[in-house]
Amino acid sequence: MARIICTAVIALFFVPLLAQTAAQQAAHVDLSGSWGYAVGNSFSPKGTAQDAGTPADGVPYQPWALALMKTRKTMSGPNATFNTRDSGTLETTNVTDPLEQCTPNGIPRILTWPAKFKFLQTPDVVYILYEYGPYWRPVWLNRQHPPADELDSSFFGHAIGRYEGNDTFIVDSLGYNDKTWLDDVGRPHTDKLHLIERYRRVDQGHLEVTLTIDDPGAYTASFTFGPRQVLARTTDFGAALWTCSIDQNKEFYRDISAPTLTPSAK
């Protein structure tokens, strides 16, 4: 008898709870799919990569950040230069992009890369996987950022997430180092970077990405890039991965870039 009563109490208590949890999970956005490619290579609120560093790009630079960006030798934007290497060592001689040395592109720059990304949603954490690297990062649900003195400074930061409505997932991240570029045109950021990513599933085939960049170390105000749409792809995520290799970069330069640059080949 006691067992029956006990079972009934458990059922009365837990079944609604489980139903509520299931309902909550069903209500949030389903981000499944294979998403890509890049959202763009310049995270300016307006203007193109070629406008980077001009008033047309709408980015509120601090003077030092603008000056630093203009010294960087990029492969995109107004400072873009052809990547050349020493003919003997094959070391890069002009481009200062850290990606040429296979330094992680980190967040948010990884979103500029023409490779796919994917969300793995679990009750406690959403993992975002990237074909480039291949890198991945956890976005913790139902959790706060650690206290400042416990926060590491890393390439991929510390991210917490929440669902909004039935179509949006919001990622709030900080705890970045300053070793990466914000985007392909060489915008800097500091370890004060606080990034908000909004992923809104418009429909089965479209994901809308919006970035709000707040870095009081490098910019005088926060600014927003997007929304920009990426598409659901038909190829399996991870069917091929994009691993950066300094040796392979050198091979490519030796085989293709160097003869393209040779002025007297004609």
Partner 1 sequence: MRTRGLLFATVAAVVIAGSIAGAHHGAAGYDNKNITILKGTVTEWIWRNPHSEVRFDVTDAKGDVRHWSVEAPPPTMLTERGWTKASLKPGETLTFHINAAMNGSPVGILRKVVLANGQDLWAYPPADLLLELTTNGKAQ
Q: Which of 62, 76, 210, 212 binds partner 1 (CB under 8 A)?
A: 76
Q: What is the 3-state secondary structure (H, E, C) of 132-144?
A: ECCEEEEEEECCC
Between the CA atoms of 62, 67, 73 and 75, what dihedral angle is there, to the nearest 10 degrees?
40
Q: Which is nearer to partner 1, 21 or 245 (CB)?
A: 245
Instruction: Identify which of 95, 102, 66, 63 has the alpha carbon closest to the alpha carbon of residue 81.
Output: 95
Return left, alpha or beta for 118; rule: phi > 0 is left, psi -120 to 50 is alpha, else beta: beta
Task: List the interface residues with partner 1, window 165-224 (CB under 8 A).
Answer: 204-206
Q: Binding to partner 1 by residue 9, rule CB under 8 A?
A: no
Q: Which is nearer to partner 1, 61 or 237 (CB)?
A: 237
257 in contact with partner 1 (CB under 8 A): yes
Identity of the residue, 152 or 251, whose beta carbon is nearer to partner 1 in the bound complex: 251
Asked whether position 232 contacts partner 1 by CB under 8 A, the answer is yes
Residue 39 in contact with residue 111, Cβ under 8 Å? yes
Neighbours of 49 (CB within 10 A): 20
Contact 98, 179 (CB under 8 A): yes
Residue 82 in contact with partner 1, rule: CB under 8 A: yes
- In the shown chain, the binding pattern of residues 13 to 52 toward partner 1, with x for contact by CB under 8 A and - for none, equals ------------------------x---------------
Planar angle of CA 200, 202, 203, nearest 5 degrees: 130
Locate 153 and state its tokens: 């400074």
> Residue 195 CB, nearest distance to partner 1 (Å)?
24
260: contact with partner 1 by CB under 8 A: yes
Stretch that binds partner 1, among 112-120, 139-147, 189-197, 218-226 (CB under 8 A): 112-120
Which residues are near partner 1 by CB under 8 A?
37, 75-76, 82-83, 114-116, 131-132, 204-206, 231-235, 239-245, 248-249, 251-253, 255-257, 259-266
